[in-house]
Amino acid sequence: MAFLDWALHPTELWAAFWYVMRHAPPDEKTNKLQVSGDMRRCYDFLEMTSRSFAAVIQELNPRLRDGICIFYLVLRGLDTVEDDMTIPGAKKRQILETFHEALYVKGWTFKESGPDEKDAMLLVEFDVVINEFLRLPEDYQEVIADITKRMGAGMAKYTRARVETLDDYNEYCHYVAGLVGHGLSRLFAESRLEDKTVGEKLELANSMGLFLQKTNITRDINEDVLDGRCFWPKAIWTKYAESEEELISKRGRERGIEALNEMCVNALEHIPDVMEYLNQIHEPSVFKFCAIPQAMAIATISLCYNNSNVLDGNVKIRKGEALKLISQSTTIDSVKRIFYRYLVQLEKKNDPSNPFYEQVHKIVDKAKKDIANTLPGGAPVDFSKEFALIALFFVSVCFFFYSYLAN
């Protein structure tokens, strides 16, 4: 199956080849950064907690690289506390609400994570993160501490509150992802690599985070329900099911797909802000850092739409597809073409019998027109069918020669 996937998607195989050629193993990459001591250990943690983010962070301009590495690790530590279901509620809230204060306490660590927390070691050695945080410029420290404080307070709130209304949903996603967009935008501006207005247009930054978070929440419904939690807003899922468990059950499949499609529509509404935000980013490494997750998100939400497999388990885009998106997300025009491509795919899945057909058609049609109107040459040409035919011919020839040689 893996061979067939690569054969049917030759451009992904090419992207994977160049990715391997251009990206060194983790240890070699860290050596090239010329860091040592605690900062080297921080980059080790970056690799351990997120290989995908590690790659783009390590390619950032040196004026931002260490600061964003530390920002990521601080929020990963905070997120590890929030996700740990073994920590009693009152204690968890206290840790979340005061986590920002620990950033200024040398030697602070946390060793009470549950046995199943995969990122527990980061908290066990959190003192190394604190040491490097305190070496950052003061303006970077202020941004990181402020976002950590606000995020921790929001996370603490939702240890008791449920995501009931659409306003709750937007607020929760703001706390856990929109604020990340705020912090990153402020760091970009503080670095002087981007214009100061990037750090001021925080509604656009918030939408960047919400598009990513809503895509993940939509995709992860099966895993979350089985873990005893649900981040889909009650205002949506109660229209289709009596309980969260019924959402993912076989008996309620048709209604579950309708709920899934409404969640996808909610995420797709952020596309105009995403495009506007990316259009204001000019430094190449910062652009790639911002664009790659958004490209992954549009590919994922397109995959999820009207896809019953989402209710059965965690669906993901192909690894080769992800590597191709990484290689292509280099300029605003290339990202617009990526979005256009997946909007076309989504449009093809939009069945007129679907209750959300008109909403999806309206969102997709407007986004496609906006992209086509700003691209040199207009709307991109879809070569996917031609590539599929070439791939099929290639596979046929390979099997012919293999059979011939075997005889």
Per-residue pLDDT at 228: 86
CB-CB contact of 234 with 167 (8 Å): no
Which of 71, 219, 240, 341 is labelled catalytic? 219
Active site residue 229: yes
- What stretch(es) of the chain map to CATH 1.10.600.10? 29-161, 194-393
Count CB atoms within 10 A of the CB of residue 397.
10
Please report, for residues 28, 116, 130, 153, 403, the alpha-carbon distance to residue 100 in angstroms, rounded to integers and kept in the order given: 32, 24, 11, 10, 65
CB-CB contact of 41 with 125 (8 Å): yes
Which of 99, 172, 231, 342 is labelled catalytic? 172
SS3 32: helix
Torsion of CA 242, 247, 250, 256, to 10 degrees: 110
Which of 51, 162, 192, 229 is labelled catalytic? 229
Rounded CA separation 318/333 (Å): 23
Per-residue pLDDT at 225: 94
Nearest partner of 94 among 39, 155, 145, 26, judged by Cα:
155
Rounded CA separation 337/340 (Å): 5
Q: What is the pLDDT of residues 276-305, one digit of tens each?
A: 999 999 999 999 999 999 999 999 999 999
Helix locations, 174-283, DSSP H: 179-190, 202-219, 221-226, 234-237, 244-247, 253-268, 271-279
Helix locations, 305-356, DSSP H: 309-312, 319-328, 332-349
Place of tokens 């009693």: 88
- For the chain, give the percent of residues with pLDDT over 90: 76
Helix locations, 135-199, DSSP H: 138-157, 166-173, 179-190
Q: What is the pLDDT of residues 211-266, one digit of tens each?
A: 999 999 999 999 999 988 899 999 999 999 999 999 999 888 999 999 999 999 99
Rounded CA separation 339/371 (Å): 8
Architecture of domain 194-393 in CATH?
Orthogonal Bundle (1.10)
Torsion of CA 64, 203, 336, 373, to 10 degrees: -140
Active site residue 172: yes
- Work out the pLDDT band at 390, boundaries 50, 70, 90: low
Q: Class for domain 29-161, per CATH?
A: mainly alpha
Across 121-135, 150-164, 341-355, 378-392, least confident range: 378-392
Per-residue pLDDT at 12: 42
Exposure string of 63-88, with b = 16+ CB inside 10 Å and e = fewer, is bbbbbbbbbbbbbbbbbbbbbbeebe
Rounded CA separation 156/148 (Å): 12
CB-CB contact of 148 with 100 (8 Å): yes
Nearest partner of 191 among 56, 74, 283, 55, judged by Cα:
283
**Count of residues in the chain:** 407
Per-residue pLDDT at 3: 44
Is the pLDDT at 169 greater than 80? The verdict is yes
Active site residue 188: no
Rounded CA separation 73/45 (Å): 8
Across 28-37, 47-56, 117-126, least confident range: 28-37
Which of 289, 305, 339, 356 is labelled catalytic? 289
The mean pLDDT of the chain is 88
Across 214-218, 377-381, 402-406, least confident range: 402-406
Per-residue pLDDT at 396: 56
Per-residue pLDDT at 8: 45
Q: What is the pLDDT of residues 59-103, one digit of tens each?
A: 999 999 999 999 999 999 999 999 898 999 999 999 999 999 999
Please report, for residues 75, 160, 205, 253, 279, the alpha-carbon distance to residue 273 in angstroms, rounded to integers and kept in the order given: 24, 31, 8, 33, 10
Region of residue 80 (left: phi > 0; alpha: psi -120 to 50; beta: else)? alpha
Q: pTM for the complete prediction?
A: 0.86
CB-CB contact of 104 with 134 (8 Å): yes
- Work out the pLDDT band at 54, boundaries 50, 70, 90: confident
Which DSSP string corresponds to 106-121?
A: TT-------TT-TTHH
AA identity, residue 406: A
- For the chain, give the percent of residues with pLDDT over 70: 85
